[in-house]
Structure 1
Amino acid sequence: MDLGIIGQAAGLFAATNVDDILILSLFFAQGAGQRGSTRRIVLGQYLGFAAILAVAVAAAFGATFLPEAAIPYLGLLPLALGLKAAWQAWKSRRGEVGDEEEAQVREGGPSPLEVAAVTFANGGDNIGVYVPVFATAGFGGMSVYAAVFLVLVAVWCCAGRFFATRPVIAEALARWGHILLPVVLVTLGLLILIEGGAFGL
């Protein structure tokens, strides 16, 4: 196996996913101490990234499942989830959390589909970077890129969990995470919409 391609794949993944560590840390903090939360977050991260890979690979072979004009509108996903998290935090502070929200808190934070939606939306611009690389790498090279990416998703999850469990960071996230998560998600959604020119922005 060509170590050069492995190194290039690792560099490309790191460059295009560095912001994911912050989001993962917030998700892990949200589910801290809750049974099964790590499994759900990791599953969601893999689902979201697998979707990014599938779209990029298909586009490299000439099949466009996701038109380029649609990518900016992926910003609506983290925006909606951020607003939902803000609403839940506000209701929780006022003691108005309903049965469904209480169940989610007991289950340990975000669901796999919520994590997957944020991961996919945040990686929408990655697709544009991956497609030409995959197209020129050929099938063998593309397989190496995909394998390295999938291994590094696990590394990213470990890094996010590591940061979320450091005493100083964990204390800060426990205190401010319910505010930070909605702010980060809403900001991410708005940036994706604005930078992509969605709705003529």
Structure 2
Amino acid sequence: MNAGIIGQAAGLFAVTNIDDILILALFFAQGAGRRGSTVRIVAGQYLGFTAILVVAVAAGFGATFLPEAAIPYLGLLPLALGLKAAWQAWKNHRDGEDEEEAASGGPGVLAVAAVTLANGGDNIGVYVPVFATAGLGGMSVYVVVFLLLVAVWCLAGRFFATRPVIARVLSRWGHLLLPVVLIAIGALILIEGGAFGL
């Protein structure tokens, strides 16, 4: 495996799933002291994230049938998602609302999977153009790295569940980091692909 693409995959996973650490921490905190809760949370996270990957890979294959000149314009999707997230963060700040990451339904497998999948819409929007431009070999590396990093994210979520100070910091600033990252990824895809003559 190419070390460069492994690093890119790890970086992409990290920036698109930063908010999942907080959600996982909330699930682990909710399941504290309940027998089997760790296994249910990890299984649910894998189930939900696998569903995200299936959709993104399928869409990535579909996107490869686009004319080559159209592929860089897929960067508009994460750019739009980033702008939407920035707008939502600004609106919530202006209205004085707190970002609440609800872990409704308890730490059951299906509840965790549903929250992971619902929270992964922005991931799909970012992964599709990256997968479409990576080719089959590159896409396979991304998928393997992502699935390995889900385990790391679960460990991190469990770790943070026992450190309330860190969880509060992520809760306060995580909603600001995501829009910046999405906008940067969208702009990078547009620029590297030469969209709009950039």
Q: Say yes or no: TM over 0.5.
A: yes
1:121 to 108, 111, 118: 118
Q: Which structure 2 residue ranges, 5 or more long, are not aligned?
A: 64-76, 85-100, 176-198
Q: Unpaired segments of 5 or more residues in structure 1? A: 73-80, 86-108, 174-179, 181-186, 188-201
Distance 1:56 1:156, change over 3 A: same
Shift of residue 165, structure 1, vs aligned partner: 2.5
Deviation string 1:162-187 (CA, Å, 9 cap, x unpaired) is 11124x559x99xxxxxx9xxxxxx9
Distance 1:50 1:83 in 2: 19
Within 5 Å, give how 1:130-141 maps onto structure 2. Answer: 130-141=127-138
Matched, 1:32 2:32: yes
Aligned partner of 1:129: which letter?
V
- Structure 1 runs of 4+ aligned residues shifted over 2 Å read 81-85
Q: How do residues 91-170 of structure 1 correspond to structure 2 at under 5 angstroms?
A: 109-166=106-163
Cα distance per residue 1:51-104 (max 9 Å; x no partner)? 0000000001118xxxx9xx99xxxxxxxx95966xxxxxxxxxxxxxxxxxxx
Give the equivalent residue in structure 2 for 1:11. Answer: 11
How many residues are paired up? 136
Q: Distance in 2 between matches of 1:125 and 1:83?
A: 18
The share of aligned pairs that are identical, in percent, is 75
Looking at structure 1, the residues matched to 111 and 135 of structure 2 have their Cα atoms a distance apart, in angstroms, of 33
CA–CA distance in structure 2, aligned partners of residues 60 and 21 of structure 1: 26
- Matched with 2:66 is none
Deviation string, structure 1 residues 8-35 (Cα, Å, up to 9, x no partner):
0000001100000011000000000111
RMSD after superposition:
2.9
Q: Distance in 2 between matches of 1:83 and 1:114?
A: 8
TM-score by length of 1: 0.61
